[in-house]
């Protein structure tokens, strides 16, 4: 962003240089598009053109702010407070020196404020600048009257049951965390973070600065049909689910051009289509297939009982799955399980399904969950899940201590993955009150790149410019 006349002159000079370079490259085009020379020329031209576009936009914005026809500037979000303050000064026709004089400060102080995006400015100072520039603040924008710190906001979130490590690693902005570590002023950064928290967790921002517990919006978890374990906090589950729901909304916002296709309700069609395009069934092909259908897939790895969800917003589906395992079979099953949910009630513009870990003893044996799990198993086992389970029961003579060997024998005999079959049997036994998950875990085929397989498509196919800087950081850090 151009902040003063000196930067304006420099930017115009740089733009002119890139314009000449663009013209020179365009006049020396390479005719044969199949040669390495053409590829090098195309890369150079794209890079120069992209840089020229950015500089041209900065110049246009600065000139528009200086024009007399520029509309009044108002503060509509704390997320971009620093940018609006700089824009307001330019639109008011004030230099940094002139604004400093109005406030009784030295020019260097305003220069430092703007160079650091007002990170070190107190809320009182910001109010003084807003008044000096005659900026308007929308009614819904809340600027705290008392000092606020990152520590106090972390404490508020901790009261919801969220782990401090999770808050620091995934939710708190990097700039604020750095300021806290350096014990630097952080009022402005903390206030901006509070604005983001209010959006993420659907809170009244004033509640973040008031005494008493936070009240979460329960709408994102209304379809969680499960009784949580007695020693587990529903508030914590709700808070994380609201966070995951916000990430899902960001994924949809960042992929506006992703075309939604009809999702097959039959496991046969899903299996046939995956094999027809990708040639095999693995995590890569299943994730790719979901994206082919216009469904972004997000993978999370935080601790907690939230296991997965499917949300539909204005006829667009998004899948969120959370695992900490390196078992490819479990990731595959979870995504296909959620795909079944996404295929249901397609006539509804909005729908959702939220669930806890199916290995939990409190996992509800609803008919929907049973069908969704059978659907995933049939896609992976070619419709023979029930048949193979019965064959395993016969081989082990209904003795669970022999079941592991039976699964290995049956899987090899029928040419299916033993980890997929083991997981399906563990699920079936869990429904009967018997925990066989530990044994099934020893039979998993593992991969170290599972998160990368699911993460790369969202990183590559998202239009990150569609998101505000705070939202962009929130989504990107969730994928780490």
Q: How far apart are CA 10 and CA 245, in angstroms?
A: 44
Question: Each residue of 373-411: pLDDT tens digit?
Answer: 999 999 999 999 999 999 999 999 999 999 999 999 999
Q: Give pLDDT, residue 363.
A: 52
297-300: strand order across its sheet: 297-300, 316-322, 306-313, 351-356
pLDDT above 90: residue 335:
yes
Region of poorest pLDDT, from 32-41, 108-117, 248-257, 286-295: 32-41
Query: Would residue 102 be called left, alpha or beta, if left means φ above 0 and alpha means ψ between -120 and 50 degrees?
Result: alpha
- SS3 label, residue 67: coil
CATH number of 74-137: 1.10.260.40
pTM recorded for the entire structure: 0.81
Answer yes or no: are the C-beta atoms of 72 and 65 closer than 8 Å: no
- Identify the helix (H) or strand (E) that includes residue 317: strand 316-322
Helices then strands, each counted (H, E), the chain: 21, 6
Residue 468 or residue 230, greater confidence:
468
pLDDT at 480: 82
- What count of other Cβ atoms lies within 10 Å of the Cβ of residue 81? 24
pLDDT band at 329; cut points 50, 70, 90: very high
Q: Give percent above pLDDT 90 in the chain.
A: 56
Domain ranges of the chain: 5-66, 74-137, 150-215, 234-383
pLDDT for position 430? 86
| C-alpha dihedral (336, 338, 341, 342), degrees to nearest 10 | -90
Task: Determine which of 69-78, 222-231, 359-368 has the lowest per-residue pLDDT on average.
Answer: 222-231
Please say if the pLDDT value at position 269 is more than 90.
yes
Per DSSP (E only), the strands in 30-171 are: 74-75, 136-137
Read off the pLDDT of residues 164-217 as tens digits, 9 standing for 90 and up.
999 999 999 898 888 888 888 888 888 888 888 888 988 888 888 888 888 887
Q: Is the pLDDT of residue 275 over 70?
A: yes
pLDDT of residue 19: 94
Q: What's the chain's length in residues? A: 480
| Helical spans, DSSP H, in 182-327 | 187-200, 234-253, 267-278, 283-292
């Amino acid at each position: 962003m151009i902040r003063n006349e000196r930067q304006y002159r420099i930017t115009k000079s740089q733009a002119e240089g890139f314009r000449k370079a663009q013209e020179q490259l365009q006049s020396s085009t390479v005719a044969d598009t199949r040669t390495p020379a053409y590829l090098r020329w195309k890369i150079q031209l794209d890079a120069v053109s992209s840089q020229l576009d950015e500089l041209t936009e900065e110049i246009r914005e600065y000139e528009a702010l200086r024009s007399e026809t520029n509309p009044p500037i108002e503060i509509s979000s704390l997320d971009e407070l620093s940018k609006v303050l700089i824009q307001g000064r330019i639109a008011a026709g004030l230099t940094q020196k002139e604004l400093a004089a109005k406030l009784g400060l030295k020019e260097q102080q305003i220069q430092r404020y703007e160079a650091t995006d007002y990170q070190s400015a107190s809320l009182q100072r910001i109010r003084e600048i807003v008044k000096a520039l005659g900026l308007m603040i929308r009614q819904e924008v809340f600027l705290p009257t008392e000092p606020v710190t990152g520590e106090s906001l972390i404490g508020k979130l901790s009261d919801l049951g969220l782990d401090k490590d999770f808050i620091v690693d995934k939710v708190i902005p990097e700039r604020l965390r750095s300021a806290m570590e350096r014990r630097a002023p952080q009022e402005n950064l903390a206030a901006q973070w509070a604005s983001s928290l209010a959006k993420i967790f659907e809170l009244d921002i004033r509640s973040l600065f008031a005494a008493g517990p936070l009240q979460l919006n329960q709408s994102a978890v209304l379809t969680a049909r499960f009784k949580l374990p007695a020693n587990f906090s529903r508030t914590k589950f709700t808070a994380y689910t609201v966070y995951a729901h916000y990430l899902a909304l960001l994924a949809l916002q960042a992929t506006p051009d992703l075309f939604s296709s009809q999702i097959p309700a039959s496991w046969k069609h899903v299996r046939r289509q995956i094999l027809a395009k990708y040639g095999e069934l693995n995590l890569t092909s299943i994730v790719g297939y979901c994206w082919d259908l216009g469904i972004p897939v997000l993978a999370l790895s935080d601790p907690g009982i939230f296991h997965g969800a499917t949300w539909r917003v204005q006829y667009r589906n998004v899948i969120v799955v959370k695992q900490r395992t390196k078992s490819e079979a479990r990731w595959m099953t979870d995504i296909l399980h959620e795909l079944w949910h996404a295929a249901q009630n397609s006539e509804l513009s909005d729908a959702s399904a939220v669930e806890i870990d199916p290995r939990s003893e409190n996992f509800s044996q609803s008919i929907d969950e049973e069908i969704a799990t059978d659907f995933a198993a049939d896609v992976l086992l070619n419709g023979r899940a029930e048949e193979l389970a019965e064959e395993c029961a016969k081989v082990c003579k209904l003795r669970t201590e022999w079941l592991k060997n039976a699964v290995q024998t049956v899987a090899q005999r029928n040419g299916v993955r033993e980890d997929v079959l083991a997981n399906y049997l563990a699920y079936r036994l869990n429904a009967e009150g018997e925990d066989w998950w530990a044994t099934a875990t020893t039979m998993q085929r593992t991969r170290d790149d599972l998160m990368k397989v699911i993460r790369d498509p969202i990183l590559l196919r998202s239009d990150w410019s569609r998101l505000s800087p705070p939202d962009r950081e929130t989504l990107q850090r969730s994928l780490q």
